[in-house]
Chains A and B, each alone.
Chain A
C-alpha cells in the first residue's frame, strides 16, 4: 500500500482536525508518571513522548465498567433500554503490542454470540498506530512475533523519524481518512523514510533485554498441570488483580445490577479477575479454583496455552505491563524461560 509523510509541524493540525470531526482518543499525560488514553478535544492535550500507558487502549473497546442496559418500570411493564451505539472514533498513538491485543481479543468477543458492545466500537473505530521509539526493560513483544514498528492490525501506522513521521496506509479505512485530510500530508517520496524505518526496526530489535523463547513452551504446558512449580509461584502471589487489569488481552468480567427504590436501574459489566478468590465460587460454596495455586496456574495456562488451544492465537503480546507492576515480581517472561528448566530438572 501507499505511504505518506507527515511533517512534525503538521501533526498538531492533523490532530486538531481529527478531534473536531471524530471522537479522538489519544495519550494524555496527567502527570509525569501517568499517561492514559482519553478523549481529547485538541492536539495540545496529547503527549506524543509517552512510552506506553499503564491502562491498555483495549479499555476503550472493553471498558472497566460498562453500562449494558437500563431498565425501568411503567405500570406493570418493565422496559429495557440499551445505550446508544458508539460514534465513529479514532484511537491515535496505539502501540504494536496493543494493536495486536485487539486481534487476540476479537475471536473472544465475536465467535458464536458476537458481543455488540465490543463489535460496534471495533467496527466504528479507526486505529492510527505509532511505532515505539524505545524498548523498555519490561518489553518482550518480539517473543510473540510482534515488533516495535509493526503496524499489522492498524489502519494507519506512524513512525517518528525525527522531523517527520512516515505514514503507512494499511487499510481502505486508513486510506479514506487520509483522503479526507490530504492537506496535512506530503506526497514526497518515502523510499528513504522506509529505509530509516528499517534501521529503527533493527536498532530496536537489538534493544530487547527480555528475550524468552516460546518454542515448545505450549507442548510443555500441555504436560505440567500438576507440577509443583505452580505452587512455588503461587506462594508469592498476593492475589490482587493488577496483572489482569493492566493486561491488554484479559477479558474476564462480571455483571452487576444496580437499582433504585423506584424499581429502575441498570446492569453493568465490570472487569473481574481470575486471581480473586471468589471468581469461580458457586452459590453453594463449591469453588473449582479454591487456592492461589489453581488460580495462578490457570492464569499462565490461559495466557500461554488455553488461548492458543481455543483460537490458535497467543494469549499474550509481550507488552510487559504485568511485569512492571506485579508487587512481588512474578514475571511471565521468566516463567516462559523457567518452565523449560523446571521440566528438565524432573
Chain B
C-alpha cells in the first residue's frame, strides 16, 4: 500500500469512528486494473476500500451537491483540480464549508489508460504503484513497468497549475512541485487562427456526433441548476432531437452558462463518449476572461468572485 493510501484509510477511519463525518467519498478499485470507481464509505470498518493511485481521474466533488441535507458532515478526497471545484461550489452556495472535510492529495498527474494498457495489457493485477520525480512505476503481477510522466499522462495534466489542492483540511501526502508553465493555451491559439470555415468544419464534425447524453452537464460542478434549461419541455429551448443545430446550441449555451465558473477540471471532456473536445470551448472562454478581465482561474482561491458574476462600482460600463 502506498503512503497516501495508508494515510487516507487511517484518516477516514478516524473521521468515521469519531463521528466527525457521516460519509467519506473517495476512490475504490474499479472493475479492471486501470479504472477506479467512486466509493461511499459510512462504516469505519470499510475504509480499506479507499485507495489512491495515478488512475484516480474522477472529480468527486459534484456528489457533494446530492448530500447537502445530510445531517452530518461529508469527507471527500480531492486532487488539485478538484479543489478548485470545492471553492466554486462553496461560492455558488451549493455546499457549506463547514459541512465538508477535505482530504487533499498532492497529485503529480493521472496516467492515460490507453497508453498504459498498450504496454502492459489487461491481464494483470496492479499490486502497487511507485512514484519518482519523473516516473511512475506500476508493480504488477506481470512485473514492474515504468512510465515517464512526460508522455504518459492525460492531456490536462500537462498544463496543471494546481498539483496541490488549493483548499484542504488534511493533506494526505507531501506537497509536490508546481508547474511553472506559462502559456497554457497553445491549442486554443491554434484554433483561434483557423478561418471561420475551418472552425465550422472542426466543430460541425464533433457536434454532429453528440448523442445528448448530458454526461458533460451532469459531471460539471458549475452545472447545478435545480431545473436545467435543457430539461424544460415548455418552452422547449433546445429540442431533444440531436441534429447539428440543436447539438451546437446545447454545447455553446452550456459553455456560456458556466463561463466564469468553470474551473477547468476537464471532466466534461473525459466523460464525453464520442470524444468531443469540450475543454476547448471552456478554455477559450477562460483565456478570454483572463485577457479581458485579468481573471484568475475560477476556484483557485476562495476569495475571487467570478468575473461575470460580480458588479464593482468602478466597472467602466453600467450594469446592463
Residues of A within 8 A of B (CB): 30, 33-34, 36, 54-55, 64-65, 137, 209, 232, 235-236, 238-242, 245-246, 254, 256, 258, 268, 270-273, 276, 278, 323, 325, 327-331, 333-334
Contact = CB atoms under 8 A, between A and B. Distances in A.
Q: How large is the interface on B (under 10, 10 to 19, 20 to 34, 35 or more residues)?
A: 35 or more
B255 interface: no
B241 A235 contact: no
Contacts of B36: 329
A41 B209 CA distance: 20
28 contacts: A30-B205, A34-B275, A64-B211, A65-B242, A137-B32, A209-B32, A236-B37, A236-B38, A238-B271, A240-B213, A240-B214, A241-B211, A241-B213, A242-B271, A242-B273, A245-B211, A246-B211, A256-B236, A256-B241, A268-B241, A272-B240, A273-B213, A276-B231, A278-B231, A325-B273, A327-B267, A328-B37, A329-B36
Interface of B: 30-32, 35-40, 58, 62-63, 117, 122-123, 205, 209, 211-215, 217-219, 231, 236, 239-243, 267, 270-271, 273-275
Nearest to B32: A137
B270 A327 contact: yes
A204 to B, nearest CB: 15
B31 A329 contact: yes
A265 to B, nearest CB: 12
Contacts of B270: 327
A240 B215 contact: yes
B205 A256 contact: no
B215 A256 contact: no
Contacts of B37: 236, 328-330
Contacts of B214: 240-241, 276
A326 to B, nearest CB: 9
B215 A65 contact: no
Nearest to A256: B240
Contact of B271 (A55, A65, A327, A331): A327
B115 to A, nearest CB: 13
A131 B213 CA distance: 30
Nearest to B243: A65
A333 B31 contact: yes
A148 to B, nearest CB: 16
Given A30-B205, A276-B231, 13 more contacts: A30-B209, A65-B241, A65-B242, A137-B32, A209-B32, A240-B218, A241-B212, A241-B214, A256-B236, A256-B239, A258-B241, A325-B273, A329-B35
Contacts of A272: 240
Closest 8 CB pairs of A and B: A240-B215, A331-B31, A329-B37, A327-B271, A329-B30, A241-B213, A137-B122, A325-B273
Contacts of A273: 213
Contacts of A334: 31
Nearest to B37: A329
Nearest to A266: B241
Contacts of B218: 238-240
A33 B112 CA distance: 15
Given A240-B215, A241-B213, A33 B243 contact: no
A229 to B, nearest CB: 13
Contacts of B40: 232, 235-236
A250 B307 CA distance: 43
Contacts of A270: 240-242
Contacts of B242: 64-65, 270
A246 B275 CA distance: 14
A258 B246 CA distance: 13
Contact of B274 (A34, A65, A258, A271): A34
Contacts of B236: 256
A246 B117 CA distance: 23
Contacts of B213: 240-242, 245, 273
A33 B275 contact: yes
Contact of B62 (A33, A238, A246): A238
B187 to A, nearest CB: 16
Contacts of B31: 323, 329, 331, 333-334
A54 B210 CA distance: 12
A327 B240 contact: no
A174 B204 CA distance: 37
B46 to A, nearest CB: 11
B159 to A, nearest CB: 21
B316 to A, nearest CB: 41
Contacts of A54: 273-274
B233 to A, nearest CB: 8
Given A232-B40, A329-B37, A238 B274 contact: no
A144 B35 CA distance: 24
B154 to A, nearest CB: 14
Contacts of B63: 235
A93 to B, nearest CB: 19
B122 A209 contact: yes
Nearest to A136: B122
B122 A327 contact: no
Contact of A238 (B35, B209, B219, B231): B219
A235 B38 contact: yes
B22 to A, nearest CB: 13
Contacts of A271: 211
Contacts of B240: 65, 254, 256, 270, 272
Contacts of B217: 240
Nearest to B276: A34
Contacts of A278: 231
Contacts of B243: 65
Contacts of A30: 205, 209
A33 B269 CA distance: 14
A258 B231 contact: no
Contacts of A36: 209
B306 to A, nearest CB: 24
Contacts of B212: 241, 245
Contacts of A242: 211, 213, 215, 271, 273
Contacts of A276: 214, 231
